[in-house]
Structure 1
Amino acid sequence: MIVLTDEEDLAVQAKLNFTLGAKTYDTYLQGFRCAELSGGVVIAYARSEYMAGVISAEYSTQIADAVESVVGQPATMVLVLSHPRR
């Protein structure tokens, strides 16, 4: 299991912002965070359950590509969860 550092997460976010464009990124991925890569599965968190569903459905491929390019390990699936309640 690879836990992404803050720097790696920021690099993933920068790649997604560049790939998707600022408007799409700001609309859907604000508050998004990639946490870890385990067995090819990216575990990420979104700001709400609704946004997690939208991100999973629309942007999983781009997220996997960005994580794979930053971490240097294969990413074949993306699991987006809502931030745990505090």
Structure 2
Amino acid sequence: MVSPLLLKDPYSLDFGRFFTGYGIRVISYVVPIYIAEIAPKNLRGGLATTNQLMIVIGASVSFLIGIVITWRQLALAVDRASF
């Protein structure tokens, strides 16, 4: 992942945001279907619910952290955590 501080061109940031959003949309579509296909019948609803719950919790934590630190610090924290 390329750090946002290294990119000076706003079009590069837009390009990256577009493809990141596209990837998240594809994953959000494919993962619930995969869970529904491989999960036993008695666990299917619970696993699908847990998947959605973890997505919402992750987004909420990101927003809460964003209250305390700037978007650049948050982007750098994510960039460093990916290594």
Structure with greater Cα Rg: 2
Task: Tell me: higher relative CO, structure 1 or 2? Use CA pairs within 8 A at least 6 residues apart.
Answer: 2
Same fold (TM over 0.5): no
**TM-score relative to the length of structure 1:** 0.31
**Which structure dedicates a bigger proportion of its chain to helix?**
2
**Which structure dedicates a bigger proportion of its chain to strand?**
1
